[in-house]
Chains A and B, each alone.
Chain A
Amino acid sequence: MVVRLPDGSRFNLGTENSSHANELDQDAIEAHDDYTMVRGSHSYTFGTHNEFFKFRNLFIQNNFGNYDFASIDNFAAGNAQGFDHSFSLTGDPNRRRASRWRSLASTRAISGGSAPASR
């Protein structure tokens, strides 16, 4: 949450808003084989490279709610002037913390820009 002061400065309190619900489990198996065959002046190579992944990623920004208070007085009174909350609609309490898909690379579930294009 944020508390704003008259001079324009801001205090950020509590958990960082992308960490409320953020989990990544992954398994990776790799199978690779090369076969090389020399025939006269030729050196042939045949090969295969395969990767098998299993990903489970959860990312719900502001899942515990994120409040923005205009002043310390409003903060003390529990009266916020801004609010963000993202939440699961699947109804399954266990899935509140686990998005349904589990097959792909990391994702972000809600809010903000696209996930970083890390390789």
Chain B
Amino acid sequence: MAQFGVYAGDQWRVRPRFTLTYGIRWDKPHLPDTPTANPASVASYGFRTDVVPSPQQWSPRAGFNWDLTRGEVRQQVRGGVGLFGGRNPFVYLSNQYGNTGIEFRRISLTFNAANSVPFTANPDNQPKSLGNAGTNEIDVVDPDYKFPSIVRGNLAYDRSLPFGLVGDVELLFTNSVEDVTYRNLNLVQTSTRPDGRPFFGPRQSNVQRRHPAPQHG
């Protein structure tokens, strides 16, 4: 995969003591590989496993620096605001590549004293079926997914102090613009409680959901 970034900026000395800095950045991932299509995911959840979002990001930013030095006292006011994304957490997308429900199967027999599974020593020849206990896991990403981003701004005053120290008062604010949420697609809202809480229950599906495995032996 590839991640492209292009940006342009200008540091503009508007006055001898006042500098304005502004610019914009564009980022876009490119994902040439496609996960395996699993029609059961579309039928049950409405999400295609072979569609992975690669959203672009625009990040405008601006800031200023105002030099208020008078005589021996060096001081300045500075501030800025902008959209920031940081490095993209591709791990959020990668789970979709590894978990289409096609490449792997899992069998799981939860511990129960009544179970009896004969031990197989050969690691390459482990049981692949315990009655009807096989399940798959499917991870999908919303086609409208956006990478996490924040808006952040600051306003600060710096002043030189005796003994070479610098005093600083700074106001910072940060607010999420895009963030990540997880959903268990096997659960859907079935009702709303009197106090307004949503109440979730299993989705009715023609695909076998993860459930306690049947007893064996």
Encode contact with B along A1-44: 1 for CB under 8 Å, 0 otherwise.
00000000000000000001000000000000000000001111
B103–A45 touching, CB < 8 Å: no
Residues of A close to B116: CB separation below 8 A: 79-81
Residues of A close to B127: CB separation below 8 A: 65, 83, 85
Task: Kindly provide the distance from the CB of B91 to the nearest chain A CB, expressed in whole angstroms.
Answer: 5
- 10 further interface pairs, Cβ-Cβ under 8 Å (given A50-B4, A108-B98): A20-B123, A59-B98, A79-B118, A79-B119, A80-B117, A82-B115, A85-B128, A104-B33, A106-B91, A109-B103
Q: How far is the CA of A45 from the CA of B23 in the complex (A)?
A: 9
Encode contact with B along A41-73: 1 for CB under 8 Å, 0 otherwise.
111111111111111010110111101101000
B32–A103 touching, CB < 8 Å: yes
Q: How many residues of B contact A (CB 8 A)?
A: 60
**CB closest chain-A residue, reference B6:** A48
**CB closest chain-A residue, reference B26:** A48
Task: Kindly provide the distance from the CB of B139 to the nearest chain A CB, expressed in whole angstroms.
Answer: 8
**CB closest chain-A residue, reference B180:** A117
Q: Which residue of B6, B94, B117, B123 contacts A79 across the interface (Cβ within 8 Å)?
A: B117
Range class of the A interface residue count:
35 or more
A104–B87 touching, CB < 8 Å: no
Q: Which residue of B8, B9, B91 contacts A116 across the interface (Cβ within 8 Å)?
A: B91
Mark A residues whose CB is within 8 Å of B: 20, 41-55, 57, 59-60, 62-65, 67-68, 70, 78-90, 99-111, 114-119
Known contacts A68-B111, A79-B116, A89-B103, A104 near B93 by CB under 8 Å: yes
Residues of B close to A104: CB separation below 8 A: 1, 31, 33, 90, 93-94, 97
A48–B5 touching, CB < 8 Å: yes
Known contacts A65-B120, A103-B33, A84 near B90 by CB under 8 Å: no
15 A-B pairs (CB sep. < 8 Å): A43-B12, A44-B8, A48-B6, A55-B1, A65-B120, A79-B118, A80-B116, A80-B119, A81-B116, A89-B105, A101-B33, A103-B1, A104-B31, A117-B89, A119-B89
**CB closest chain-A residue, reference B130:** A83
A80–B91 touching, CB < 8 Å: no
